[in-house]
Structure 1
Amino acid sequence: MYKQMKLKATDGLDLHLHIWDEVKNPVGVVQIVHGMAEHGARYGLFAERLNQAGYIVVADDHRGFGKSAIDEASLGHLDGETGFKNMVEDEVVVRTYLKETYPGLPYFIFAHSMGSFIIRTFMAKHQVDGVILSGSGLQPIALLKMGQMITKQRVKKDDRKRSGFLNKLAFWGYNKPFNENHRFSWLSRDVAIYEAYEQDPFCGPVVGTSGFFHNLFEAVKVSQQKETLESVPKDLPVLLLSGSDDPVGHFGKDTPKIALSLEKAGVEDVTYKIYEDARHELVNEICKETVFQDVIDWLDEKRR
């Protein structure tokens, strides 16, 4: 059964939750942490497959996205000073709810893209039975600092101002390798997916504010810091997934680098898989059923 509910964040914001819990004998819980300019409801098919394998699934809409945005003006916006910190704390609130609602079940996280940067910080501080990072990436620290210098000035003036310039900068060149002549073809080889994304009012039309982009740069920067990596529990199972044609992960190059950085920090159970020719949204790719099964197999192995 699919249902929706509200959950209070620590600052009083109503976080919107999507819940798929039609599971007779559950073997675990999976918390989905979505990416930028999207929302939890897009993971319905993936959640149904996980349900069939015995996993209860819950996904929140991040603050500033989906139905957690309190109005149209809040879509794509994060507070310039506390946005990233609040996003991490929101996932802690969801974790607490899941632990209390489904006690005793193994607890996993599947985090995609921007969500992966949030969870790469989250998992350094909070206990999880396993983490799957999909569509993650790395950026040069110098580039991130430059981005924050630009956004800091804009945040001081008006952190709610939409920034077409920063939006273009964030996705610069993503479509260049592809022939479909569509601005979202980098998401998937499935035409129906990127056309639906463009029309979804919670996705394609959303342009982030200066406050959002300032926090995005912060999220990526913190996720890569040595202190963050060294704080990840050494026994945490981590699975990294990416497509060989995913521009966010620099076309498959970043995933093994992230795996190596975790291993160098002492994390003992790190594996990764690159899906040939797949693009950014693996759970919406033409190879999605293979991805679903790979995730289920990994979850089944780690929950025992």
Structure 2
Amino acid sequence: MVKEQKLATYDGDEIFIREWSEVEKPVGIVQIVHGMNEHSGRYAELASKLNQAGYLVVADDHRGFGLTAKSEAELGHIEPSNGLEMMLQDQEIVKHHMEQKFPDLPYFIFAHSMGSYITRVFITRHSLDGVILAGSGLQPTLLLAAATRLASHFVKKYPARKNHLLNKLAFLGFNHTFHEKHPYSWLSRDPLVQEAFAKDPLCGPVVGTSGFFDTLFRAILASQIKENVWSVPNGLPVLLLSGTEDPVGHYGKDIPKLAVKLSEAGVKDVTYKLYEGARHELIHEVGKETVITDIINWIEQKKKRTVTFASFLTYLSFTKNNILSGR
């Protein structure tokens, strides 16, 4: 069973969230941060498996997407003036919402694609017990800078207009290695997933505005600048997942490089896994059961570490109080 509601944002708007909470004795929380041109409803299967493992799950529809968008015209639009900061604050609001209700549970984030870039900035500001980044990557700095300048140019003229040129450039070449003719072959080897994405009015038909692409490019840029990479907490467990046929991760090349960058920045617990033949959407791929099992097993390992550490802190506190009270 999924609970749906809206949360007030810091700028006076609202974001739509889904909570999957059919868990008798929850052992942790997983917040899902979805990707571009999709919505939280696509994560129901992952949420169900996490619930079965004892985890409460929450996910928002990002501003401009899914049921957070107030109208069809607003789908794919983010106000560019402070778009990235607002998206980061929205994730903070979702996290705060869950932590208020369940303050003592270990807290994890699973983030996909665009959501992974947002989360790579988010983790430099907020504490977590672990983060899983799926379908992420590293983009060439010069190309990214050029894309950002181009988006900024369009923003000055018509920020809220659908930008078909930037949309085309953003996905340029993503399908060229695949024999299928479907426009969303790059997402998954499963033809049912490709077609469902194309027919979902909150996914395939959505074209981002100039304001959205300006925000997207700035998020990617912010996620990989040295200052932010080196600001990731050294003790944060990080799991990086990608497919060897994912064009966003340059076909398996980016994730090992990102793992090295994080390790060089002092992050001590970085693990990555590449799934042979898998494309962009790992939890909607052929063999998704293995991916979901890997995610749950990793969270279980890190949750146990968190509980052990929390127990140690409780012991220290108990010992200190006994000493102070003369017991």
Same fold at TM > 0.5: yes
- SS of the residue corresponding to residue 108 of structure 2 reads strand
**Map of 1:291 onto structure 2:** 291
**Map of 1:117 onto structure 2:** 117
**Map of 2:310 onto structure 1:** none
**Map of 2:154 onto structure 1:** 154
- SS of the residue corresponding to residue 154 of structure 2 reads helix
Runs of 4+ in 1 over 2 A off after TM superposition: none
Q: d(CA) in 1 for partners of 2:16 and 2:101? A: 16
**CA-CA distance at 1:289 after TM superposition:** 0.4
- TM normalised by structure 1 equals 0.99
Equivalent position amino acid for 1:297 in 2:
N
Equivalent position amino acid for 2:248 in 1:
V
- TM normalised by structure 2 equals 0.92
**CA-CA distance at 1:145 after TM superposition:** 1.0
Equivalent position amino acid for 2:28 in 1:
G
**Map of 1:107 onto structure 2:** 107
Q: d(CA) in 1 for partners of 2:294 and 2:149? A: 40
**CA-CA distance at 1:179 after TM superposition:** 1.0
Equivalent position amino acid for 1:232 in 2:
V
Structure number with greater Rg is 2
Q: d(CA) in 2 for partners of 1:47 and 1:242? A: 19
Q: d(CA) in 2 for partners of 1:95 and 1:201? A: 28
**CA-CA distance at 1:150 after TM superposition:** 0.9
The Cα RMSD (Å) is 0.6
**CA-CA distance at 1:277 after TM superposition:** 0.2
Equivalent position amino acid for 1:79 in 2:
E
Structure 2: gaps of 5 or more residues? 305-327
Deviations 1:96-154 (A, max 9, x none): 11110111000000000000000000001100110000000111111111111111111
**CA-CA distance at 1:71 after TM superposition:** 1.2
Matched, 1:179 2:179: yes
Q: d(CA) in 1 for partners of 2:101 and 2:193? A: 33
Matching of residues 149-228 of structure 1 within 5 Å: 149-228=149-228
**Map of 2:73 onto structure 1:** 73
Deviations 1:28-64 (A, max 9, x none): 0000000000000000001000000001100100000
Equivalent position amino acid for 1:10 in 2:
Y
Equivalent position amino acid for 2:236 in 1:
L
Matching of residues 270-281 of structure 1 within 5 Å: 270-281=270-281
Equivalent position amino acid for 1:154 in 2:
F
Matched, 1:89 2:89: yes
**Map of 1:301 onto structure 2:** 301
**CA-CA distance at 1:85 after TM superposition:** 1.1
> How high is the sequence identity, in percent, across the aligned residues?
56
Deviations 1:266-297 (A, max 9, x none): 00000000000000000001111001100010
Structure 1: gaps of 5 or more residues? none
